[in-house]
Structure formats: C-alpha cells, structure tokens
Amino acid sequence: MKSQQQNPIIVSKESIANLSFPANEVLKSREEIKNRMLDLERATTLGNVEQTKIKIIFEDTESIKQVETTIWATTDKRIILKGGVVIPINRIHEVKIV
C-alpha cells in the first residue's frame, strides 16, 4: 500500500482520541482493502507476541497522519491501541512494521 502523501504529520497515540474520522473508505480497490486487513492482522500478532511497534498512516478530517505504536486488537471496523485508543480501519492508508 502506498500512502497518498509523502510526509504525513507525526502524532502521538494519545492525541488520536481527539481526532475526527469521516465514514468513507480511503483506499480505492478491494485488493488494497484486503491487503490492509492482512497487514493489520499480522501487526496485531506482532504487537501482542513481540511488542513490535508499527507505523500506521491514517487520515482524519484534516490530513494524513502517522503514529508509531503497537496494535493490541483488530476488529472488523477498527484497531485498538494501548489505552483503548481506536482508529477506524477504513481511514488507514498503510501499515508498516518498524
């Protein structure tokens, strides 16, 4: 998956709770959506087993942002980070293992 912007704004995990997320999907194809889900499932496993940090590039109502953290859980609609912070899956552009 390629992010739509070369330099996303780096944010802290704690600031994500204050962001607003539209309901629309950021990816264009079914294949990209499928691959994102596979990447998220892998990242969740790595986060729980090895505490591996992941770069998550996502988009809120204002811009494309990036956070580096571990993913604790993935549901069908969102990912859950430490402290109960959530990001809707349909707003995630890319997931990178650090």
Q: How far apart (Å, rounded) are the C-alpha atoms in residues 13 and 9?
A: 12
CATH number at residue 62: 2.30.30.100
pTM assigned to the model: 0.91
**Segments forming the whole domain that contains residue 46:** 9-97
**pLDDT in the model for residue 6:** 67
Q: Is residue 3 part of a domain?
A: no
Q: Is residue 46 part of a domain?
A: yes
The values of phi and psi at residue 5, to 5°, are: -135, 135
Q: Say if residue 2's pLDDT is above 70.
A: no
Q: Is residue 4 part of a domain?
A: no
Q: Is residue 2 part of a domain?
A: no
**pLDDT in the model for residue 4:** 46
How many domains is the chain partitioned into structurally? 1
